[in-house]
Amino acid sequence: MKQVEVAVIGTGWCGGIRAETLSRSALVDKLHICEIRPERLEEVKALTNPATATTDYKEILDNPNISVVYISTTPESTHYPIARDALRAGKHVLLEKPIAMEFFEADELIKLSRDNNLKFTIGYSQRFNTKVAYARKKIADGTLGKVVNVMVSRHLSRALGKKIASRVRLSPAAMESTHDLDFVFWMLEPAKPVRIYSQGSYGFMKDINGSYDTMWTTVTMDNGMVVVIGGGWNLPPSYPNYCATWIEITGTEGQLFLDDSQRDNWLNTVSEGTMFPMSTMPGEQVDHVFAGQMGPETIHFLECCIKDEPVMVAPEHAKMVMEAYRAADLSAEIGEPIDLPLGNHAIAQLADLMEANKRAAQK
């Protein structure tokens, strides 16, 4: 059995999951971890028993024996430079979403992976959600007939939303609905998005990072299908889980409803009250099994590298998703629909919007 040396750069919430998953895999010869917070580095080191542990990611890239790298760093602005350096160093890369903050950055990462014949993918773990996989199967095998529309409503708890929003000035469309845009576009292939109209509503999060509490985005596909995606991060503090999602898919021959609100796991205790455990989007380790999506996704990418098979999420697809949520941001700001792919005028408007957001963040 072929084994490889792998590394995880950034071992916070998601990176910690990936490191623990890899430490249990027989496909991993040696695990290496990198984390800039010394106390977290020691914590993950105790959990995973890595071959090396460092606070400098360049030590990972300088090690010729490491062939596969998982980049789970925050803030999101670190994604591009670290992924660029890893690809230049000849490493296969799984990068958490978003693929980049700027379109030229995404283009460079894609080109580097192509030129160096390297595996490069983005961590859209919802593709490993069994309900999403089932929905794609029922579309592909014709059970639902011709798809007419898809609706996804995803909401995060206020505590988790605040944690995400406090580290980066990105919208709920960019940080949460991006997952839904990814898997819906994946389910509806070969159809592609051609127009987006979005609206947002301010509330609790406006004082946190100036973002909307919720955004609702309508996407028109090139074959006439309509996609409606709502994303928010302001479930009240009393809500008993982290994430609640509802999916509806309507076709000419049937309709599919998917309840992914995690209410099927119900724990009630004297000290904590009602909780819906195992309700985070990434999932969590439960003794000998992983409950969720990120564990299987982590191993799948490793297998793609070892077996030289196509990755689950092509980086070109991730860039298309990036265009979609950036178009949603622009649409919500100017109150007009935006055509895809983005033209020069829209890209210029987005640049102005980003500059205005930077100035507002500095005040």
pLDDT-above-90 percentage for the chain: 80
- What letters, b where the CB count within 10 A reaches 16 and e where it falls short, cover 235-257? beeebbbbbbbebebbbeeeebe
pLDDT at position 242 is 84
pLDDT at position 238 is 87
pLDDT tens digits for 307-331? 999 999 999 999 999 999 999 999 9
How many Å apart are CA 1 and CA 27, to the nearest integer? 8
Residue 268 has pLDDT above 90, yes or no: yes
CB 65 within 8 A of CB 5: yes
Reading the block at residue 85, the tokens are: 């350096």
Average pLDDT over residues 272-288: 87
pLDDT at position 56 is 97
Residue 360 has pLDDT above 80, yes or no: no
CB 98 within 8 A of CB 322: yes
pLDDT tens digits for 122-161? 999 999 999 999 999 999 999 999 999 999 999 988 888 7
CB 138 within 8 A of CB 354: no
Average pLDDT of the chain, as a whole number: 94
How many Å apart are CA 117 and CA 251, to the nearest integer? 39
pLDDT at position 279 is 77
Helix (H) or strand (E) holding 268: strand 267-269
Residue 343 has pLDDT above 90, yes or no: yes
pLDDT tens digits for 40-69? 999 999 999 999 999 999 999 999 999 999
pLDDT tens digits for 164-214? 777 667 889 998 999 999 999 999 999 999 999 999 999 988 888 888 999
Read off the pLDDT band of 363 (50, 70, 90). low
CATH 3.40.50.300 fits 4-118+295-313, yes or no: no
Residue 248 has pLDDT above 70, yes or no: yes
Reading the block at residue 4, the tokens are: 């490889």
CB 319 within 8 A of CB 121: no
pLDDT at position 105 is 97
pLDDT tens digits for 68-105? 999 999 999 999 999 999 999 999 999 999 999 999 99
Average pLDDT over residues 278-290: 87
CATH code reported for the domain at 127-281+319-362: 3.30.360.10
308: region left, alpha or beta (phi > 0 left; psi from -120 to 50 alpha): left
What residue type is 139 in one-letter code?
I
**Higher pLDDT pick, 240 / 25:** 25
Reading the block at residue 254, the tokens are: 């049937």
Structural domain spans, the chain: 4-118+295-313, 127-281+319-362
3 state SS of 165:
helix
pTM for the complete prediction? Answer: 0.94
